[in-house]
Amino acid sequence: MPDKKTISRAKRDKAQGKAPGTQAGEFVREEMDHIREGKHGARSTKQAIAIGLSKARRAGVDLPPPKTGKRKTKRQARRDLEKGRHPERGVSAKRSRATTGALKRESRKPASHKSLSRQAHAVAAKRGSSARKRSARKAAHTRAYERGSTLFNPLMI
């Protein structure tokens, strides 16, 4: 179960009109913190991120399943979304303990700065130039907006 602070931060993000991915980012951040604290580990950075996204979906964040990837991953994401929409049912204590026990035996390295940086770089490299350009434009627009400009003005940057 995610911390109350994480859920409240995600709800605040939703109230501000931020994307489901941004809301889910709070849960991924929490997961990285858990690994750094030594609560448990992960086999890879991708696994750590996947755990965070799964928690987000189960907590009610309306994050759609991935468009690409393995069928098993997509199916699990859909199941997590359903669980988030109907949170009445509890979780199996035995299964939960087994999962935590398995994760405790894994490494803490996937949450390191270097591993996260490598993961981000690898994902960015897979994106096309137009996607990177769009991302840069959005960032520039956000900076201009934060400085109080309603229109994008290149001279303000």
Burial (Cβ within 10 Å: 0-12, 13-18, ≥19) of residue 44? middle
Cβ contact 52:30 at 8 Å? yes
pLDDT at 150: 54
pLDDT in tens, 85-107: 887 777 789 998 999 999 999 99
In terms of Cα–Cα distance, which of 69, 67, 28 is closest to 51? 28
- Taking the C-alpha atoms of residue 157 and residue 155, their distance in angstroms, rounded to an integer, is 6
Backbone angles phi, psi at 89, to 5 degrees: -75, 140
pTM, rounded to two decimals:
0.81
In terms of Cα–Cα distance, which of 49, 20, 21 is closest to 116? 49
pLDDT in tens, 61-74: 999 999 988 999 99
Cβ contact 43:107 at 8 Å? yes
pLDDT in tens, 127-149: 899 998 888 888 888 777 666 65
Chain centroid, CA 129 distance in Å: 23
